[in-house]
Amino acid sequence: MSNPKYTVAPAEPPPSYEIAARPKPPPLRAPLPLQLPLITSLHDKRVILASASPRRKQLLAQIGLTKLQIIPSPLPENLPKESLSPFEYVLQTAVQKATYVYTTEINNSTLGEPALVLAADTVVVSHLGQILEKPRSEADHIAMLKMLRSSGYHRVYTAVVAMTPLASARDPGYAMETTVEETTVRFGRDISDETLMAYVRTREGADKAGGYGIQGIGAILVDRIEGSWDNVVGLPLRATLGLIEKVLTEGDEDELGDAFADDDE
Residue 111: inside a domain, yes or no?
Answer: yes
Predicted confidence at residue 19, as pLDDT, reads 75
| Per-residue model confidence as pLDDT tens digits over 25-49 | 655 565 566 678 888 899 899 999 9
CATH number (domain holding residue 167):
3.90.950.10
Other beta carbons within 10 Å of 69: 14
Residue 13: inside a domain, yes or no?
Answer: no
Side-chain-facing half-sphere of 120: CA atoms under 13 Å: 34
Predicted confidence at residue 6, as pLDDT, reads 43
Q: Which residues of the chain have pLDDT under 70?
A: 1-11, 24-34, 169, 254-265
Q: What is the spatial distance between Cα 105 and Cα 102, in angstroms, rounded to a whole number? A: 5
Residue 20: inside a domain, yes or no?
Answer: no
Instruction: Please name which of 10, 68, 63 lies closest in space to residue 37, comparing C-alpha atoms.
Output: 63
Predicted confidence at residue 122, as pLDDT, reads 95
Predicted confidence at residue 123, as pLDDT, reads 95
The yes-or-no answer on residue 223 being catalytic is no
Cite the beta strand spans of the chain per DSSP E. Answer: 47-49, 69-70, 116-125, 131-132, 154-165, 174-187, 222-226
Residue 5: inside a domain, yes or no?
Answer: no
Predicted confidence at residue 10, as pLDDT, reads 57
**Domain limits for position 75:** 34-264
Number of domains in the chain: 1
Residue 215: inside a domain, yes or no?
Answer: yes
Catalytic residue among 121, 207, 230, 254: 121
Q: What is the spatial distance between Cα 46 and Cα 218, in angstroms, rounded to a whole number? A: 35
Residue 259: inside a domain, yes or no?
Answer: yes
Residue 4: inside a domain, yes or no?
Answer: no
Residue 240: inside a domain, yes or no?
Answer: yes
